[in-house]
A and B are shown apart, each in its own frame.
Chain A
Amino acid sequence: MGAAAILKKGGQYLGIILLLAFFVTPLAWMVSTSFKSAAEIYTANGPFFPTHWTLKNYQVAFAAGLGRMFVNSTIVAVSTTVVSLLFAVLSSYAVSRLIFRGRRMILVSMILSQLIPLSVLIVPIYQIMARLNLLDQFPSLVIAYLTFSIPVAVWFLRSFFLSVSPEIEEAARVDGCSLFQAFMRVVIPLIVPGLAATGIYVFVTVWQELMFAITFLTTPAKYTLPAGVILFIGQHGTNYGAVMAAATVMSIPPSVLFLLMQKRLISGFASAGGIK
Chain B
Amino acid sequence: MQQSVTARGPIGARARHSRSPAIWLLLPTLVSMVGLVVYPLARGFYTSLTTSFFLSNQAVFAGFKNYAILLHNPVFWMVVWHGLVWTAGVVLGQLIFGFVGALILNQPIWGQAIFQSVTFIPWIMPGVAAGLLWSLMYDPTFGLVGNLQHFWGFSSIAYLSNVHTSMAAVVVAAIWKGTPFTILMMLAGLQTVDTAVTEAARIDGASWFKVIRHAVIPQVAPVVRTTALFITVWTFNYFDMIYVMTNGGPVNSTQIFPTYVYQLAFGQLDYGLGTAAGILSLVVVGIIAALFIFELARQGALD
| A119–B124 CB distance below 8 A | no
- Segment at the interface with A among B35-43, B64-72, B198-206, B210-218: B35-43
Within 8 A of A (CB), among B164-195: 176, 179-181, 184-185, 187-189, 192
| B293–A111 CB distance below 8 A | yes
A26 within 8 A of B: yes
A269 within 8 A of B: yes
| B33–A109 CB distance below 8 A | yes
Closest residue of chain A to B240 (Cβ to Cβ) is A210
| A166–B9 CB distance below 8 A | yes
Q: Which residues of B contact A111 (CB under 8 A)?
A: 289, 292-293, 296
A247 within 8 A of B: yes
| A230–B262 CB distance below 8 A | no
A165: min CB distance to chain B, Å: 9
A259 within 8 A of B: yes
| B33–A104 CB distance below 8 A | no
**Most chain B CB inside 10 Å of its own CB: which residue of A104, A119, A204, A229:** A119
| B257–A119 CB distance below 8 A | yes
Within 8 A of B (CB), among A204-236: 204, 207-208, 210-211, 215, 225-226, 229-230, 234
Within 8 A of B (CB), among A58-85: none
A211 to B274, CA, bound (A): 14
Number of interface residues of B (CB under 8 A): 114
B142 within 8 A of A: yes
A29 to B150, CA, bound (A): 17
Closest residue of chain A to B116 (Cβ to Cβ) is A262
B123: min CB distance to chain A, Å: 9
Q: A91-B28, A116-B285, A258-B124 are in contact. Are A26 and B275 (CB under 8 A)?
A: no
Within 8 A of B (CB), among A79-103: 86-88, 90-91, 93-95, 97-103
Q: A99-B18, A204-B124, A255-B125 are in contact. Are A105 and B1 (CB under 8 A)?
A: yes
| A123–B258 CB distance below 8 A | no
A147 to B38, CA, bound (A): 10
Contact mask for chain B residues 266-303; partner A; CB cutoff 8 A; 1 contact, 0 none: 10000100110011011001101100110110011111
A115 within 8 A of B: yes
B153 within 8 A of A: no
A146 within 8 A of B: yes
Residues of A within 8 A of B (CB): 12-13, 15-16, 19-20, 22-27, 29-30, 33, 41-46, 48, 86-88, 90-91, 93-95, 97-125, 127-128, 143-144, 146-147, 150-151, 154, 166-167, 170, 179, 204, 207-208, 210-211, 215, 225-226, 229-230, 234, 238, 240, 243-244, 246-248, 250-251, 254-255, 258-259, 262, 266-267, 269-270, 273-276
A42 to B146, CA, bound (A): 13
A75 to B185, CA, bound (A): 31
| B261–A120 CB distance below 8 A | yes
| B257–A273 CB distance below 8 A | no
A sample of 10 cross-chain residue pairs with beta-carbon separation below 8 angstroms, ordered by A number, consists of A100-B23, A103-B4, A115-B288, A121-B40, A128-B43, A210-B127, A230-B244, A246-B129, A255-B125, A275-B188
Q: Which residues of B contact A154 (CB under 8 A)?
A: 29
Closest residue of chain B to A30 (Cβ to Cβ) is B133
A146 to B223, CA, bound (A): 28
Looking at the complex, which one of A19, A45, A127 makes contact with B147 (CB distance below 8 Å)?
A45
Within 8 A of A (CB), among B128-165: 128-130, 132-134, 136-137, 139, 141-142, 144, 146-147, 150-151
Looking at the complex, which one of A30, A87, A240, A254 makes contact with B29 (CB distance below 8 Å)?
A87
| A119–B40 CB distance below 8 A | no
| B33–A150 CB distance below 8 A | yes
| A94–B26 CB distance below 8 A | yes
